[in-house]
Structure formats: structure tokens, C-alpha cells
Chains A and B, each alone.
Chain A
Amino acid sequence: MPRLLTVDDSRAIRTIVTKFAAELGLEVDEAEDGEQGLAKLEECQFDLILLDVTMPVLDGPGMLAKLRERGDQTPVIMLTSESKRSIVAGAMKLGIQDYILKPFKAEELRAKVNKVLNLDGTAGEAEAVAPPAARAPEARAAAPLPPGEVTASSAARQFIDILVIDDMENVAKKLRTLVPPHVTSNAVSTAQSALNQCRERVYRVVLLDLDIPDVNSLALLNQLRMLQPHAAFLALTLRTAGDAQKDALQGGFDDVLFKPFDKESIDDLLMRYFDNQELLVTEDNVLRVGPFTGREDKMDRYFSRLAQLLDGAVEKVAAACFDEAVIDVSQIPLRPERTPRLLLEAQRSCKKTGLDLRVIATAEGQKLLSSFSETSKLTVSVARG
């Protein structure tokens, strides 16, 4: 069990820290000043010290200096009402891990203690927090995050699919009529309420109107991105708005959605950000490719999305220690210019991860693949029925 030492001349602070440490399952000891703190550290080892600055007998910086002088590198978080830059800079030179200004919130103390003691296992949470469907490549590129950069607090936030930010209420109502019931959505009409929503919830897609009175949409976009790094941000604009699409993309939006909405563009949005599960379903080592439904001119996008999803799906199969990945393309449209290329992509992914590849296709599919030299050597089984 990690051990924590609180060094503070205030009994109230020591009591709060002790109570909090008990909640976190930490063992805790107390000292009233720097001298006592040093004595405690001679008696036994601690994993973390919460250190006040102003104390009688020996103050925090004095204790820290003596501690480092004798080669003790126990991590220290300063917990103080002192906010002078020179004092904190001096302590940083002696090696402190973090700083908490009194009065403080329990969440801040918890987050910083957890981080120093490495108790929260944030690396594992990152995957749990970010819905896979929201990780469109464009969204990732727009807001890169180092691995594991997700706080415990965000893990507790509620997931919602779409946030609509538009001062006209009818926009969200209209959208609601076009998306299936299982797709959840919220609507707000002001910048402040949008920021509040994004603090409290996790969204996959944020639709932001470019024409909210008195709102600088690009500034708001940037602020919301900080709170929703995994979300895709789409600008809402009118078809008649000249260069709005180009400007919005230059300004940092991932895409543009034109108003008034039409069924095709909403279907496109759903396919792009929400239907990945049905586009490529993985069961054990079988990757089942879903059929194409939609307008002919969306076919390219269907194949592109599949190609993007393949790597992740193949990695899952490899991670589960299968020797072979089976890709079922019996429902896929047979396009000489696209289908063989997709399977070559699958073969490349499998080779990279050390898997063999087997293909399940219709008889026509098998014939198509055997007609190209690059795909003729693939192991293809014909689907029954």
C-alpha cells in the first residue's frame, strides 16, 4: 500500500488529507513542520510527500532542500496557499512533481496524487473513453492526443452521439427526424451552454452553426475541441454561403453539413461516424464486411472507410492469438477497380501482423479475384447459399 506523508502546520489540512488518503486506500502519516517531516522520513520510506510552504521551525522549501541534499528523491507535491512565482520556481528546481493551491478541490488532489503514484492506470482508460466510431482519421488528425491522455473524470462522463449547436431550435428538431432513435443527441443555442455540455459529456460528433449571433465560431470550435478531443466537428452552413465550406475547413472543421438537411447527407454522416460496426463486424477471427446501401456516388467512400477499418480489425484478431484471419466479402459489391484492391489491403495488414488470410466470397467474387494476378493466389472459399 503506498505511503503518503502530509507536512503541514494546519491540523485541519492534515485531517482532510488523511481522510482523503484513506478513501484512496493510502497509508498516511503526518508532520507539523519541516523538522518533523525530515525525522519521519528518516524513520521510514514514503511514496509521496504533500508539503506546505509556510511552517514554523523549518518551512517547506527548507525541508525540501535538506531532503534533496541527503539524496532523498521522494516525490513531492506542494500543497500551499503560496502563489509567488519565485518560491514555486525555487521549489521546482529542487524537484517537485506538482503544485496545488489552497483552498483546493478533492478532485484536483485526487488527480494529482493518482498521477504521481501512477494509481489511475490511465493508459487503459483511453480506449474505454473514446468511442471507436468517433475516431475517424480526420478527427484524430485534428486533435492528436498522446496515448493515455484521458483523465479519470472524463471516464465518468456520459456518452452522447451528436451535439447540435445552433441558435435556431428547428435545426435540432429536423435532425432528430432524420436520425434513427438509437442515435442520441443534445441541442444547445449558445456558446456558454455548448461549453458546459462539452465539459460534462463526451460526444462523437459536434455540429456547430457558423452563424450564431455574437459568437465567433472558430474561437468556439477551438475551445470545444479542447474539451472534446475525440469528436468530429462539422460546420453547419447554408448551401448558398459562397466560400463558407472552404473557409470552415481551413478554420479547422473536419467537414461541412449543409442546411436544410437532406436524407442523403445525413445518411452519409451516419455511415461515416456511426455505422462502422455494421460496415465491418469482427467475430472471433472472422471479419464480416457489410453490404453497401446508398447512392452509387457514395461507393468510393464505402470502400475507403472499409480500408481504414481493416488494420484495426486485423490487429484485434492478431491480439486474440488467432493464426488466421477470415474475411467474408460475400456481401460486398463486386467492382474490378475496388474489390481486389481492398483484399490486397487486407492481405498486407495480415502479413504485417503475422496472420494468414482466407477469403470467403461468392462464386462471382472468386472468379473476379482469380482474374487478377495479384489476387489469384489468395485462398478463397465460396460462401454457401
Chain B
Amino acid sequence: MTVETEAQPRAGMNERLGAQVKAIVLKRLGDNTLNLPLPSPVVTRCLQAIRDPAMSVKDAAALVEQDPALAARVTRSANSAAHATLDRVRSIPQALTRIGLEKLRSILVELSAQRLFDSRDPRIAEALRKVWEHSLAVGMLARDVAALCNVPDSEAAYLAGLLHDVGKPVVAWGLLEAERALVGTRTNFWIEASAWTDVVQRVHRPVGVAVAERWSLPETASQAIADCTEYDSAERLSVTNCVRFANALAKREGLYLGEVDRDDVDALLMIGRSMLGIDENVMGRLTHRLRERLHVAESP
């Protein structure tokens, strides 16, 4: 005879709810009827155009200039400590020359993703802020891990890290829509916060994969979304393995929404160190000033 604890029916309920939300979100993603906060048309056009290797800085600048928010972001990046030394940039072509088209791509994807992590509902906004903070941390750590392990294209590692949980806000939007349909209000969670997190956690991966397909995200990002918990030993020094390691590191640092299984995290770090050849000393320094760096990256 089994004794049913209080947590068991709750888990079953969350599982059923998760399955329903997943089905609804995937269907609506497929129909293009999910009411997501999409990036501006200029950002979308820019993302498409930048895939063309023949695209010139002049062409890119012409597009960027059409979106004031994007133009401001590009200028800010060009004038930041990461790039600036000369006089402040005065034009978008000048800014793009300074930061390069790869950086522009990062900014575009970041802008697109960041809109998803915003909500007018304060509790959802707070939960999504934590997811965004985790994603940003994983992106930054993955970039460092890739650079230190000699994995080509550390910028791809940053993007893949940033997007590895992109399914979470989409599921959150799906839940919010369901709530509106049910109770016609968005003042409070219609389910408990812990159950909300649990449902998001259960179904975000397949939803994220569908988003990656729909947005034609880079292959490395799709791989990181699909599986961020088991390394691929066939290709040790891969961008995705860097993201997996970074994900475990961010969790160990407490930058995560939801419960963390410490044993799992420790195992992932131990495997990752050997998989990627990360020296113990370097490992200790990877998270040095991480919260400060996150703060700098998040500041407007």
C-alpha cells in the first residue's frame, strides 16, 4: 500500500496542467497565434538581413537607424568601456564599424529575447527577471568558458547561453493567456507561485525548441535549449557543452529560479571540468565578480 502525500496529487496536477499548457502553446506557436511580445519589425528584418554574409556595414546601419531603441542600444554599446576609446561615436555606421556585425547580431537576439522576459504582472515580472538574470549569467559564463577552452566562436556560446531557457517566458505567456481566459484578470497568480515554477520547468524545453525553430535561432542555441543537463562526450569542446557547464555554475552561484539539486549540479561541474579540460584554479575564478558583471550588463 502506498501512502499518498500532499505533494503527490499536486505533482500530478502540475503534470496535467503542464501537458495542457504545452499542447496549447505548441499549437498556437505553430498557428502563429500566441500573443508573444515580438521584437520590432526592424529588429526582425535586421536579424534576417545579417545572416547574409555579403551584408555591408552601410546596409546594416540603414536598417538599424529605422528603430530608435535599437539605434540607441548600438550607440551605447559602441560607447561603452568594452569598446570605446576615441571620441564618442556620432553615427550608426561609425558605431557598427566599432562593434562589428557579430556584436550587432548579439544585440538583436538579446533585444528580441529580452522583450519576452517582461511582464506587467508584478509577480510574473519578478519570476521572469530571475530567469533573465540566470540566462544572462549563463551567457556570460559560457562565453568565458568557450574562450578559455579554445572553443571557436565564444560569441555563439554567449547567445546559446542567453537563449537556453527561452521556452520559460513563452510558457509563462501561455499560462497568463490561460489565466485571462479563465478569470479575466491578471492581478494574481491563478496557481501558486511554486506550482507556476514547476509547470514552467516541466514543459519549457519542447516549447523552447519550437521557438528556436520558429525564430531560426542558431543550431548551437537550439541544442542548448533541447538539452542543458547532459554533456555530449562525442564532441567535448562544443559550444553546447560550454553552456551546460555554465548553466551548472550559475545554479551553484544561486542565480536560478526554482529549486536546485546540489548533487546534480556538483556532478555536472565535476564532469564538465574533465570534459572541457578546465583547470581547478580557473574554475574558481570563473564566477569572480559575476554579480557585479551582471549588474553592469543589465544596467540601462
Instruction: Write the residues of chain A forming the contact surface with B, with a CB cutoff of 8 angstroms.
Output: 81, 83-86, 88-89, 92-93, 98-101, 104-105, 108, 111, 115, 143-146, 149-151, 153-154, 191, 195, 209-211, 213-214, 216-220, 222-223, 225-227, 229, 235-238, 240-242, 244, 247-248, 250-252
Bound complex: CA A214 to CA B273 (Å): 29
- Give the residues in chain B near A248, CB-CB below 8 Å: 81
- Give the residues in chain B near A226, CB-CB below 8 Å: 144, 148, 282, 285-286, 288
User: Is B279 in contact with chain A by the CB < 8 A criterion?
Assistant: yes
- Give the residues in chain B near A214, CB-CB below 8 Å: 99-100, 102-103
- Give the residues in chain B near A115, CB-CB below 8 Å: 280
**In-complex Cβ contact of B271 among A83, A145, A237 (8 A):** A83
- Give the residues in chain A near B99, CB-CB below 8 Å: 214
Among A105, A235, A241, residue most surrounded by chain B Cβ atoms (within 10 Å): A241
B284 touches A149 (CB 8 A): yes
Given the known inter-chain contacts A222-B144, A241-B86, please indicate yes or no for A247 contacting B270, CB distance below 8 A: no
Closest B residue, CB atoms, query A79: B274
Bound complex: CA A236 to CA B84 (Å): 11
**In-complex Cβ contact of B270 among A92, A210, A235 (8 A):** A92
Closest A residue, CB atoms, query B270: A99
- Give the residues in chain B near A220, CB-CB below 8 Å: 147
The interface on chain B, measured as residues whose beta carbon lies within 8 A of the other chain's beta carbons, has a size of 49
B288 touches A85 (CB 8 A): no
Bound complex: CA A191 to CA B103 (Å): 15
Bound complex: CA A151 to CA B197 (Å): 42
- Give the residues in chain A near B280, CB-CB below 8 Å: 111, 115, 149, 151
- Give the residues in chain A near B82, CB-CB below 8 Å: 210, 216-219, 251
Which residues of chain B (235-273) have a CB below 8 Å from chain A? 236, 263-264, 266-268, 270-271, 273
- Give the residues in chain B near A252, CB-CB below 8 Å: 289, 293
Which residues of chain B (31-62) have a CB below 8 Å from chain A? none
A101 touches B274 (CB 8 A): yes
A211 touches B81 (CB 8 A): no
Bound complex: CA A115 to CA B280 (Å): 11
- Give the residues in chain A near B266, CB-CB below 8 Å: 89, 92
Which of B127-135, B208-216, B226-234 has 4 or more CB atoms under 8 Å from chain A?
B226-234
A89 to chain B, nearest CB (A): 4
B81 touches A81 (CB 8 A): no
A146 touches B148 (CB 8 A): no
